[in-house]
Amino acid sequence: MKLVTFELGTTRAFGRVEGDLVIPMGPDLATYLGTGAAQDGEAVALADVRLLAPVPRPGKVVGIGLNYRDHAAESGQPIPEQPILFAKFANSVIGPGEPILLPPETAEPDYEVELGVVIGRTARRVPVANALDHVGGYTCMNDVSARDLQFQSSQWTLGKAIDTFLPCGPWLVTTDEIPDPQALALRLTLNGEVLQSSSTEQMVFGIAELVASISRTMTLEPGDLIATGTPPGVGFARDPKVFLHHGDEVTCEIEGIGALTNPVRAER
């Protein structure tokens, strides 16, 4: 099932996509993931609604660094022995078609296609064997990163948690349609050129390991997001380097989920 959060006129709701229609199901997707409570409304045309991020205001956004072996290598870093966690926040989250706004404080904004995990059931100290039972679904993410700000210190938040720097969407695909999240092709194109292309099988720590590891010290709640890391091909590791500029268009595609496209604009 494909679940979307959308606006139609002054109404915001969530619903499921059926062909070229959206069936409204209630006001809040995160609440639905936690309770299962929904009530179908009158179908509307998908073309008539404005899609938002599936969870527009997540309680937590947990990022994972260097989680693809070949990305660690291109970054000149050793393969992590345990997940590297960093934080992004709800201010970074935008939906499909919304512009990534580049603030004047950075000259090195970079792209990162990532498989996004949306928590569906509260998770606290869950074992790896049961961890996927706490996942509500998956989405496409672009973990946009200001490299010059990110590497000013050992803490990455300054370059990661920037307004509009986490496009998500175009929808959440429920876990019953993604039987193996570790076998998904993913790629990123910038202005039509493929710059990242890999598979989630290259992750150092799989989805179940990440959920189990994170939940040991923090409770994951319905609607929380995990950005699971990016494959090689990022801009700062290229020669010459490739960064985002005003007028660019970035598309993240993940097998079984779809494509997330966002324009890039200079912040005014």
* Tens-place pLDDT, residues 182-228: 999 999 999 999 999 999 999 999 999 999 999 999 999 999 999 99
Average per-residue pLDDT in the chain?
96
Indicate the domain borders of the chain.
Answer: 1-51, 55-266
Q: Is residue 80 exposed (0-12), middle (13-18) or buried (19+ Cβ within 10 Å)? A: middle
Instruction: Give residue for tokens 């790629």.
Output: 187
Q: Pull the structure tokens for residue 225.
A: 């997001």
More confident residue, 69 or 111: 111
Contact residues for 255 (Cβ-Cβ < 8 A; gap 6+): 184, 185, 186
Query: What was the pLDDT predicted at 77?
Result: 81
Q: What are the pLDDT digits (tens) for 27-53? A: 999 999 999 999 999 999 999 999 999
Confidence of residue 75 (pLDDT cuts 50, 70, 90): confident
Confidence of residue 71 (pLDDT cuts 50, 70, 90): confident
pLDDT-based confidence at residue 238 (cuts at 50, 70, 90): very high
- Predicted pLDDT of residue 73: 78
Q: For 209, list phi and psi in degrees, rounded to 5.
A: -65, -40
Q: Evaluate if residue 72 carries a pLDDT over 80.
A: no
Instruction: Please determine, looking at this structure, whether the domain spanning 55-266 carries the CATH number 3.90.850.10.
Output: yes
The pLDDT score that the predictor gives to residue 122 is: 97
Give dist(CA 77, CA 206) in Å, integer.
19
200: nearest Cα among 179, 184, 187, 180: 184
Task: Please state the pTM of the whole predicted model.
Answer: 0.96
Identify the pLDDT of residue 78. 84
